[in-house]
Amino acid sequence: MAEAETSTSASRVIFISSEDARAQGGNLTTPGTSFVTTNYRFLLQQPIAVPAHHSIVMSLHHCSIPYTFYNFRRNINDKLRFSITASGVSGSSATEHTIYIRPGNYTAISMITEIQKKLEAHASWVAGSTLHIRFNPETNKYEWRYNAAGGGGRLTLRLTQDPDTFSEYTDDIHSEIGFDNMKWFELSGLMADSWFDDNGSGAADAFTWGWSLGGASPGQATADTSDSTSYYFTGDDTTGALPYINYFSSIDMSAHNHSLFVRTNLSSHSVQDSGTGGAFSSILAKIPVEGERGSIITINPTDGAVHQLLLKIKMIDVIYIRLTDRKNRLIDLNGLDWSIALQLDFIETPKIKIPTDKRLEIEQKLYEEFKKNKEGKN
């Protein structure tokens, strides 16, 4: 049976709340730490059937999302790995330790406190040692110095997951604190460990900073040496000529949350995504993260109607919806529900005219003239 909208310019709008989907038993996450409201299935009591000669154009009519998700999330970006060694000794092949950043919303300043607090509380930390970090608002970067207790020491930030391939960890905070591989290290797109050394002499040149690698081909290099006991390493490689090349990147406390992505099972043939190598994805809409934390992120009808997707399906009886980050990882709204409205417009499926080969067209015309002449003679 044809839908009433197919003969008019009217649209059909489907309002869906994650709370209602959960009441249907449609929450698709597992109870526990991964139990969230952003992955569900909703069953339509009145399925939508599309006549053979019609198609559906779908758009995001409205969306309301509470801004209660964190910029530092469990198992997404909550780790910082490190090693403690004697001064001058590479930490890239030493015992690796991990501190865990408590999930939450951090600023450039509060993250400094969190890192320092977790390091100093770790069992491997040498009492009396201090990692100094300060935020420079002019460069939007962190600046560092490590003061080791006693006879000196080295703190190595273990940023390299596989030193033989220079690959980075995918669950740590290197991008947030200024070690994005576009700049660190050596503007190469590759990742190395970063170390801060104190030789314990108390002299003006006691502090050094550089990079190191472990693995099958270990190595290390010094990028900068202090000239005072209060020196901070800014990322400048002072071993080169002026002007110095800087290897620290801007800090980004929202590196994983610049945008949210609404994904559905209906939108699997209309959007191509660089994250899947340019293949089709399930993305319905990309939503910029704006406003204050604790507020509501909304998409209005005039915004959502800008991008329209032509659906190839002829029956809609169930809708799967996910709210994710750019890497298709579920967003945790910390227990709160969200809502979405999908607009469906029925259109007549345009007839596609297959272009005729020009040579065949000429031959067909000659044949028609031949037939006409032959019939005239008879």
* For range 297-325, the mean pLDDT: 84
The amino acid at 108: A
Question: Domain locations in the chain?
Answer: 4-69+257-348, 79-246
Q: Can you give the pLDDT at residue 143?
A: 98
Give the C-alpha distances (Å, rounded to integers) separating 282 from 35, 285, 286, 331, 368.
Answer: 22, 9, 11, 16, 50
Q: In degrees rounded to 5, what are phi and psi of residue 377?
A: -75, -30
Q: What is the pLDDT of residues 57-93, one digit of tens each?
A: 998 999 999 999 999 999 999 999 999 999 999 999 9
> Is domain 4-69+257-348 given the CATH code 2.60.120 in the classification?
yes
Query: Token pair for residue 317?
Result: 């009886």
Between residues 281 and 104, the one the model is more confident about = 104
H-assigned helices in the chain: 18-23, 108-121, 301-304, 358-377
Dist. CA 287–CA 281, nearest whole Å: 16
Q: What is the pLDDT of residues 353-363, one digit of tens each?
A: 666 666 777 77
Under a CB-based contact definition with an 8 Å cutoff, are residues 254 and 289 in contact?
yes
Q: How many CB atoms lie within 10 A of CB 288?
A: 10
Q: Name the pTM for this structure.
A: 0.84
Query: What's the whole-number average pLDDT of the chain?
Result: 90
